[in-house]
Amino acid sequence: MQNIRTEVCVIGSGPGGYVAAVRAGQLGKKVVCVEKAAAGGVCLNVGCIPSKALINAAKQWEQLSHLGAMGISVSGQTLDVGKLQDWKGSVVDKLTSGVRQLIKGAGGQLVSGTATLRDKNTIEVSGPDGNFTISADHIILATGSRPITVPGFAVDNQRIHDSTGGLAFREVPKRLTVIGGGYIGLELGIMWRKLGAQVTVVEFTDQLLPGNDPEVVAVVARKLKKLGVEVHLQHKALRHEDSDGALKLWIMPRGADDQKEKELAIATDHILVTVGRRPNCESLGLEQVGVAVDQRGFIVVDKQQRTSVPNIFAIGDVCGQPMLAHKASREGEVAAEVIAGHRAEQDAVAIPAVIFTDPEIGSVGLSEQQAIEKGHKVLIGKYAFAALGRAMASLSTDGFVKIVADATTQQVLGIHIVGPAATDLISEGSFALEMGAFLPDLALTVHPHPTLGEAIMEAAKAALGESPHVVGGGQRTANRH
């Protein structure tokens, strides 16, 4: 391949990179996107999309056992995990093919290879067809992240798995132990439990899904117990032993000394390690060109996604939390627009987070505790799905909508949903915060009946003490500071 001259070079084609490439092309820039693996990055290939495909399949499988309450009898159902994996792969293939077409349709070029910065305008690419260089006026770094490893638990995706391996079983594991009770661990753990695995979760902190509202997490914890998932909070994984095909994991309470009698052995067949992710920055050559990183290894950027080198931008997981696909996509748009001379910056009021556990979680803005810590007198409105007709008719009544507002101004500070379709419903919360909504804005917006979205309206009315469906109106004020 001959050396390439372009206006914009995007390194990485994940949900940040490909969106940046497409947007730059739409704005008239000549674009080359470099990808060392498969188009679409982690999200489309071994993350968001395949995991949600399997999670949805597990949900459908579980629902078969609940149809009797509706008078529907089902018998003779079978589960073919191999065929399920093939279907998951077909979904991924359609989307990754779409990414390639989108880049091409915007006038961009997608090339294969591993990219390294040689100077602020030159990228060296080692590809399957040999090495070549790309000269670019602007560079966008979108190399994503990878799973954090745990000492003593080297991933081989045979017995010790990372999230990629955890999505690839072609048979339901008999016993699966998950190290890490964050969103990835619980999403996959619950999914395999529904498909028949015996699942154990080991979490180092004192709460599952650390960083989430404790009231929200409690609903998921109750469902885990109902599903028969064994949970060990405040425990650390020590070591494992694989002897004659028998795998054992030893754990110990956090803070305990190293006395053997305090260790607990867990017999398992597979161990899934999901303790977080780290940025893919080490081999980019950042030091050589002077791109600054922080103490945790994330690339430092401003609101326009510009690094310490003015013509080099960074987006997505490589520039810090939250490490979410939709955040990366928005940052990709910003970087492309800035390069094209537009006035743009990453100025979202809040980035929503979604977790595909059972029940689902959607969250945006401040939690109750965060609002208190920022000095707000807090007004809380909650509405349970158990009181909602649509939820009852769907046999999905776990959870609630919780709205956090400032008690003085009534401005909405945060919305937290745990329950059916929470990952879809939270978009209304994101819109509310972005538009600077106040409680009456949500309470007076007529929501169609019967729908799950009514719970947001009812929670806003409860915060105002005006809900006709909550005894006493529903208002709760938190005066702590």
What residues are annotated to the active site?
449
For tokens 């329950």, name the residue.
Answer: 419
Helix, coil or strand: residue 89: helix
Q: Which residues contact 406 (CB under 8 A, 6 or more apart)?
A: 371, 376, 377, 378, 379, 413
CA distance 148 to 50: 20
Query: Which tokens in the block code for residue 226?
Result: 């109902």
The amino acid at residue 244 is: D
Report the amino acid identity of residue 93: D
Neighbouring CB atoms inside 10 A of 77's CB total: 8
**Preceding peptide of 15 cis, ω within 30°:** no
d(CA 137, CA 121): 6
Cα angle, residue 238 at apex, residues 170 and 177 outer, rounded to 5°? 25
> Cα torsion for 259, 260, 262, 268, to the nearest 10°?
150
Virtual torsion, Cα 49, 165, 331, 357, nearest 10 deg? 60
Residues 208 and 223: their CA atoms lie apart, in Å, by 12
Rg (CA), the chain: 24
Which residues fall within 8 angstroms of residue 1, CB to CB, at 6 or more apart?
111, 127, 129, 130, 132
Question: Both tokens of residue 74?
Answer: 């089902």
Largest CA distance in the chain: 74
**Could you tell me which residues come within 8 angstroms of residue 229 by beta carbon, excluding any fewer than 6 positions away?**
189, 190, 193, 199, 200, 201
Please tell me whether the peptide bond between 359 and the residue prior to it is cis, using omega within 30 degrees of 0.
yes
Pull the structure tokens for residue 287: 């030091």
Angle at which helices 454-463 and 422-434 pack, to 10 degrees? 50
Structure tokens at 434: 């972005």
DSSP 438: B
Q: By the 8 A CB rule, do 114 and 126 touch?
A: yes
Contact status, residue 365 vs residue 437, Cβ threshold 8 Å: no
